[in-house]
Structure 1
Amino acid sequence: MNTDLYPEVLATVLLFLGLWMISSRVSWSSVPVRMVVVALFVIMNVRYVWWRLQSTMPPFVIGFESLWSWFFIGLELSATLVITWHFIVLISPSRRSPEADVAEAKLRARPEAIGVDILIPTYNEPEEILQRTIDAAVAVDYPNFRVWVLDDGARDWLKQLCLASGVAYVARTERKGFKAGNLNHALTVTSNPLVSVVDADFALEPNFLWRTAGLLDDPSVGLVQTPQYFKNPDAIQYNLFGEKAWPEAQCMFSDVMQSGRDTWDNAFCYGTGFVVKRACLEEIGGFPEQTITEDLHSTYVLLSHGYKTRFLNERLSAGFATQDIGEFVLQRARWCAGSLQCLFAEGGVLRGKRLSILDRLFFLDPVLYHVGTLWTFCLLISPAIYWWFGVSPFRSDFGHLFVVFAPRMLIGIYGFYWLTDRKTIPLVSELGRIVGIYYLVSAMAKVALNPFRQSFNITSKKLDSQRTQIYWHVMRPHLLLLAITGAGILYRYGWMQGQGFYMQDNVGLMISLTIYVAWLVFFSCLICVQRPTPNGLLDTVGAVSIGSIRATMKTLFTRMFVFR
């Protein structure tokens, strides 16, 4: 390390020691505090990007090393833009509960409450889960509503269950449009002014309609969304024994990011636990059927017609997270494909009419987030490329990595941890993308080749599993990458005959990156070992909603060396 970098090293160490010392003593809900953290991150990011462009890049020429380095930094800049945008969005989360209090009081004072149709779309969910959902919907404390079960599976037993539960049963002869088509068919046989959609594995709280329906009195509001709250750990938590260490993957977005977007009138619907005006749906022609993420697409179309989505951050329903890693990976691939479809769809990000520039920026966010998957993929394969071909994604020494890259990474981890109220730990949250990275890249390629030729894969919610299962089709590519990378190290060491191996350009950088990638891939392989659920999904252990870095590190360290 160059001696002229020591002052910056000392400043970096003192900065993070200071942040660590005051972190538990400041109010992280304070907007000024959050602005300081965001400003610090933006400064670090600008400094990092300037350093990358000025000091780490080869000249742009037609050649493998140059093209690889510039392609890599292009994707990295896209990912950097997304994370910076997320920090800015997190500055001032909305708090709609006082508005909901006023709206509920007005609603209760009316001589007659506005009518609501509660729609429960279903295809292959088991009876025990559906019974829970139906019972909760029937028990909603509201004077004017009707429950409809929309069966796309044409199951006789479900028809009998609905009859016994006193709810309406609707089936259709064809599954055109998948979930959106199922909902649109229901709109033709229902008539109440408000429509609520609840996924078949979610149970509403009794006060759900009192807290949401009144917010729709605002003529500019077309839809009210509530957070997704899961009673059980997701596949990442469950298979790494992290139920008590970090929250499930969607907790940060559902509890925090949606509130930040809502401040800018850009929260979006995500398919369950929402109430929408029937008149708004009729105006836009029903739920869009062109994409496999009808919830996200509906938000775009409603907004283009002048109707906002409001986000009420109260836990008014509870569902089951996908606890099976095979289903988890397929679910994320479907979300990825659907988000990218919205880039091309009529009424979407690019083709939607009457959307402001700010609206388009907000709705480009999920698109760019999934494009960031390509950068993650390139990061994973970059050690293998270096060890086999001697080509590094960029050039750097340890000194500059420590004083430029490390502070930026640490403030990103530290800032995100506190700004999201300890609901996300970035290194762990990335595992949700990395474990299914090959499926995500495949989904992106399919959308790029043919945006609208995609299938809707239903997420199966298995009740129980009595034995440990290894998902080799998910694990195998990770094992192959580890083998290729390891073989590359042996090849380069043998090619150098052990002499000058550690003196090669960027070898320190690439050894560090190799260790980091191996760590991520190793845990991705562990996630593919599916734990049994002997007591069943309905009786699964609860998961924390606030995480801990210390508990997470302890859990991961234990998981590395102890097989339970």
Structure 2
Amino acid sequence: MAQLYPGVLANLLLVLGLVILYKSAHRQHRMVRLLIAILFVVVNVRYLNWRYTQTLPTFDFSLESIWMHTFYLFEALSAILLNWHFFVLVAPTNRSAEADRWEEILRGQKELPDVDILIPTFNEPPEMLIDTIRAAKSVQYPNFKVWVLDDGNRDWLRDMASEQGVGYIRREQRINFKAGNLNHALKLISGEVVCVVDSDFQLHANFLWRTVGMLNEPKMALIQTPQIYRNSDAIQHNLGGEFAWTEAQCTFSDVMQPGRDRWDNAFCYGTSFVVLRSALDKIGGFSTETVSEDLATSYQLIAEGYKVRYLNEPLSHGLATQDIVAFVKQRARWCRGTMQCLLSPHGVLRNRSLSIVDRLFFLDPVLYHIGSLWTLMLLLSPAVYWWLGIAPFYTDFGHLLVVLAPRILLVTLGFYWLSYGKTIPIVSEVGRIVGIFQLCKGVFATLLNPFNQEFSVTLKSKEATDTVVYWNLMLPLIGIAVLTLTGFLARYLGFMNDDVLWRTDFGLMISLTVYTLWLLYLSSLACVQRPMVINPHVSRIGSVKKSIKQLALRLF
């Protein structure tokens, strides 16, 4: 065995050692986390080297060679991004002690900064907005004013604002979408600090005390807090996993943002943040270059020498997107906005004021969305094999067991451990696969026409009492599955006269076929929209056993 597969002993010992370390190590210990990250990076680098040296043909312009090398290119980009995330996760920050110190200083000041709380709105229903307004009014801070920014020309909202005793600002033309709405308000307000809260979020009473003081740190411009949801997201909801795993944004909010914050590269993501008015004035207001005004504004501030901090405390709560169509549109918008940030005048390619570290962190979300192309290629690879006889790479079943399988196991275990159990591999992939064609379209459309501004507001308050099948999302996934299965059956029943069934890569492709069909099955299930009842008082804490039972019933 060792002669046939020289890496088998090293891989087995590494798996055994990491399993022991996984059970005994303390997740908070920084050196332990660094050691584990290094070990997983070594595993990934060994794998990529094996893939390049042992599984690829000499490049030529044949269809097989182009497919294999393109597949490897995107797989390598995915592995490099994963290596990057391993190191980002090593030392997440905890700014609570700093917030305590700055809050004490702030409470001791005789004159406190004026704060304007801005609630940008467009098409939200009254029952949602009234809760957001009341929560903003109830913030415990002596010197603030609440403003409702109406982009929908709604007289009833003007009357509601008047009844609640808050400010109301309407603009007639929706230019530059949310960023334009905020910038229009900046011309009419005068507070030293601007707080932005989305219309579906509710600030906690101590929000301003915990955040405003931190802006006194030199060169500090913006304090971002996590997005905490009081309901399940679309994938959780439709697969019955409300209590079996965390919602899609949890990994980013709880782990990635604190990890980025260690390197002064946390970024604003839309709601529940405070920012200095003077810093906004310095960069000309909220960025209007892309549909991701939050990400673009963050890096414009960083380029001007300002700091963006992440305070990982639950200081607000909101509604996650439960409708699967809205979920996909939201992700597609994020994809488009992120790709626009890459190419915009203040983006990573053209902004001369960003450091190398800033540029690397800026590239992180860009590469994440480009990774959608790798996911699509992975889903299509079995169909390509069965119909065209072209595998994604050369290997045999033995290497599947001693190289590929250990690598997948180790990487899965490592990311799960470093993310404090917030990342469930299969579930995280489903969230991308459901809208894979929309995401890939967003990547290509932005590269071809970067600054075509298309913005769709995410509707989170929709209620429905019936189950709905979204065929427009499901049929492409079913199409890939059917293409894969019919290709396999055509080979198996002898309609294609060749030796594919006897090739050394047959075992690999059978395994990959089963895996991709399972992903497509789960993703298709997620396209079946379960009834939705928006209840802001429902707790997300419940029985894991009950939720897993519900999921099992839907799957089988």
Range class of TM-score, shorter chain: over 0.9
Q: 1:497 to 1:67 in 2, by over 3 A?
A: closer
Question: Where in structure 2 are the equivalents of 1:171-210 lying within 5 Å?
Answer: 171-210=170-209
Preserved contact between residue 142 and residue 209 of structure 1 (Cα < 8 Å): yes
Deviation at 1:97, TM superposition (A): 0.8
Q: Could you tell me how far apart the structure 2 residues matched to 1:447 and 1:354 are? A: 24
232-241 vs 411-420, which moves further: 411-420
What secondary structure does 1:332 align onto? helix
Preserved contact between residue 323 and residue 462 of structure 2 (Cα < 8 Å): no
Q: 1:391 to 1:554 in 2, by over 3 A?
A: farther
Q: Could you tell me how far apart the structure 2 residues matched to 1:5 and 1:520 are? A: 32
1:536 paired residue number: 534
Deviation at 1:150, TM superposition (A): 0.3
2:555 paired residue number: 560
Q: Could you tell me how far apart the structure 2 residues matched to 1:289 and 1:11 are? A: 52
Preserved contact between residue 268 and residue 295 of structure 2 (Cα < 8 Å): yes
Structure 1 unaligned runs (5+)? none
What secondary structure does 2:291 align onto? coil
Letter in 1 for 2:315: L
What secondary structure does 2:493 align onto? helix
Q: 1:419 to 1:552 in 2, by over 3 A?
A: farther
1:268 and 2:264 aligned: no
Q: Could you tell me how far apart the structure 2 residues matched to 1:262 and 1:180 are? A: 24
Deviation at 1:203, TM superposition (A): 0.4
Q: Could you tell me how far apart the structure 1 residues matched to 2:549 and 2:411 are? A: 21
Q: Could you tell me how far apart the structure 1 residues matched to 2:541 and 2:153 are? A: 34
Q: Could you tell me how far apart the structure 2 residues matched to 1:366 and 1:103 are? A: 31
Q: 1:478 to 1:403 in 2, by over 3 A?
A: same
Q: Could you tell me how far apart the structure 2 residues matched to 1:145 and 1:111 are? A: 15
Q: Could you tell me how far apart the structure 1 residues matched to 2:313 and 2:469 are? A: 37
Preserved contact between residue 230 and residue 318 of structure 1 (Cα < 8 Å): yes
Q: Could you tell me how far apart the structure 2 residues matched to 1:542 and 1:269 are? A: 25
Question: Where in structure 2 are the equivalents of 1:317-336 lying within 5 Å?
Answer: 317-336=316-335
2:371 paired residue number: 372
Question: Where in structure 2 are the equivalents of 1:138-153 lying within 5 Å?
Answer: 138-153=137-152
Deviation at 1:19, TM superposition (A): 3.5
Deviation at 1:421, TM superposition (A): 1.0
Deviation at 1:23, TM superposition (A): 2.8
What secondary structure does 1:48 align onto? helix
Preserved contact between residue 416 and residue 425 of structure 1 (Cα < 8 Å): no
Letter in 1 for 2:357: L
Deviations 1:170-215 (A, max 9, x none): 1001000100000000000100000010000000011100010011
Preserved contact between residue 115 and residue 144 of structure 2 (Cα < 8 Å): yes
Q: Could you tell me how far apart the structure 1 residues matched to 2:338 and 2:465 are? A: 35
Q: Could you tell me how far apart the structure 2 residues matched to 1:345 and 1:10 are? A: 49
Q: Could you tell me how far apart the structure 2 residues matched to 1:388 and 1:338 are? A: 36
Letter in 1 for 2:487: G
What secondary structure does 1:23 align onto? helix
492-501 vs 189-198, which moves further: 492-501
Q: Could you tell me how far apart the structure 1 residues matched to 2:372 and 2:548 are? A: 24
2:73 paired residue number: 74
Question: Where in structure 2 are the equivalents of 1:191-270 lying within 5 Å?
Answer: 191-270=190-269
Preserved contact between residue 464 and residue 537 of structure 1 (Cα < 8 Å): no
Preserved contact between residue 151 and residue 170 of structure 2 (Cα < 8 Å): yes
Aligned residue pairs total: 556
Deviation at 1:488, TM superposition (A): 0.9
Preserved contact between residue 397 and residue 506 of structure 2 (Cα < 8 Å): no
Preserved contact between residue 117 and residue 147 of structure 1 (Cα < 8 Å): yes
Preserved contact between residue 247 and residue 543 of structure 1 (Cα < 8 Å): no
Deviation at 1:555, TM superposition (A): 6.4
Q: 1:491 to 1:439 in 2, by over 3 A?
A: same
1:451 and 2:446 aligned: no
TM-score normalised to structure 2 length: 0.96
Letter in 2 for 1:459: T
Deviation at 1:121, TM superposition (A): 0.2
Q: 1:394 to 1:30 in 2, by over 3 A?
A: same
Q: Could you tell me how far apart the structure 2 residues matched to 1:450 and 1:17 are? A: 50
Structure 2 unaligned runs (5+)? none
Preserved contact between residue 137 and residue 204 of structure 1 (Cα < 8 Å): yes
Deviations 1:321-379 (A, max 9, x none): 00000100000000000000001111111112311011000101000110111011100
Q: Could you tell me how far apart the structure 2 residues matched to 1:468 and 1:62 are? A: 49
Deviation at 1:494, TM superposition (A): 3.3
1:92 paired residue number: 91
524-533 vs 440-449, which moves further: 440-449
Q: 1:342 to 1:189 in 2, by over 3 A?
A: same
1:286 and 2:285 aligned: yes
Q: Could you tell me how far apart the structure 2 residues matched to 1:453 and 1:242 are? A: 37
Deviation at 1:403, TM superposition (A): 2.0
408-417 vs 252-261, which moves further: 408-417
1:517 paired residue number: 516
What secondary structure does 1:430 align onto? helix
Letter in 1 for 2:73: G
Q: Could you tell me how far apart the structure 1 residues matched to 2:15 and 2:337 are? A: 40
Question: Where in structure 2 are the equivalents of 1:294-309 lying within 5 Å?
Answer: 294-309=293-308
Q: 1:149 to 1:497 in 2, by over 3 A?
A: closer
Preserved contact between residue 269 and residue 295 of structure 1 (Cα < 8 Å): yes
Q: Could you tell me how far apart the structure 1 residues matched to 2:503 and 2:295 are? A: 49
1:482 paired residue number: 481
Preserved contact between residue 118 and residue 196 of structure 2 (Cα < 8 Å): yes
Letter in 1 for 2:104: A
Deviation at 1:420, TM superposition (A): 1.0
Deviation at 1:16, TM superposition (A): 3.4
Preserved contact between residue 492 and residue 501 of structure 2 (Cα < 8 Å): no
What secondary structure does 2:107 align onto? helix
2:419 paired residue number: 420
Deviation at 1:27, TM superposition (A): 1.1
Letter in 2 for 1:389: L
Q: Could you tell me how far apart the structure 2 residues matched to 1:539 and 1:93 are? A: 31
Preserved contact between residue 224 and residue 276 of structure 1 (Cα < 8 Å): yes
Deviation at 1:401, TM superposition (A): 2.1
